[in-house]
Amino acid sequence: MSDFELVAVEDADGLKICKAIRRKVFIDEQGVEEGLEWDEHDVIGGVCRHFYAVVDGVPAGAFRVTDKGHGAVKLQRFCVLREYRLHGVGRAMLEKLEQICRTEAFSMIEMGAQCHAMPFYEKCGYSVVSGVFMDAGIEHVRMEKVL
């Protein structure tokens, strides 16, 4: 990965990029029902902040975060397009998010992680803090990282 950038979404075009990435990963690849993927937080100026990753000028991953209060953010809809997986894109996305969170005085990142992705998140310093639960027909666990 030679050129990486994390873009904070500020307009409808940026949100459209995030949603296209999420559609490819969650709906097309993983079979999540469209009605479960999109919700009231998929807007500009709402409670969620949306981001997407660009690798060599091409959108490669996306996520959103919500301020949960008490110094914590919740990471949601974290995804990397198949062709960019295993190339450090996901790790770079998390590192940039963690930098942003520290700069903004957040001290914790929480998430519901798909069970198959637990080893990746654990390598990035996240810990499992719950048992397995189902979300959109996929096994998940709650994970967190103290910054």
pLDDT at 1: 58
Mean pLDDT by 10 residues, the chain (147 residues): 90 97 97 94 95 97 96 97 95 97 97 97 98 95 97
Torsion sign (Cα): 92, 96, 102, 106: negative
Tokens representing 126? 């996240």
Burial of 119 (0-12, 13-18, 19+ CB in 10 A): exposed
Burial class (CB in 10 A: 0-12, 13-18, 19+), 136: middle
Model confidence, pTM: 0.95
Q: By CB neighbour count within 10 A (0-12 exposed, 13-18 middle, 19+ buried), where does 37 fall?
A: middle
